[in-house]
Amino acid sequence: MQERGRSVRPRMLTGLIVVMLLFGSFAAGNYASGQSKKKKSKWEYTSLRHSPYLKNSGSDMQKMKALGAEGWELASSYGVKGEELASSYGVKGEIITSVFKRKR
């Protein structure tokens, strides 16, 4: 009686492992073949180049306010100045690039 009980458990465990491996291989195959759902980006992005010296009534500030009214929010901002700016844009001084995002 005890001999039989001992031999059933390993068979059940082996069967369970085989079933789990089969399901796992199908899931991996579907993922690798691109059959899983593709995620779309939740955000869309836009950028605005502007002066580092913003005036409340200036055109750059008005552009930013218009973006805010459309639901855009500031995600990042960085500046370029010096020789790199002069060679790339033909401008002396500094230009700030602000990146905005909003939900789709």
Q: Tell me, what's the pLDDT at 50? A: 86
Three-class SS state of 62? helix
Mean of pLDDT values over 49-71: 90
Is a pLDDT exceeding 90 seen at residue 98?
Answer: yes
Sequence-distant (6+) residues with CB within 8 A of 64 are 48, 50, 54, 98
- Global pTM? 0.56
Beta strands in 58-104 (DSSP E): 73-81, 94-103
Helix, strand, coil distribution of the chain in percent, nearest 5 = 45, 25, 25
pLDDT of the residue at 86: 60
pLDDT score recorded for residue 21: 63
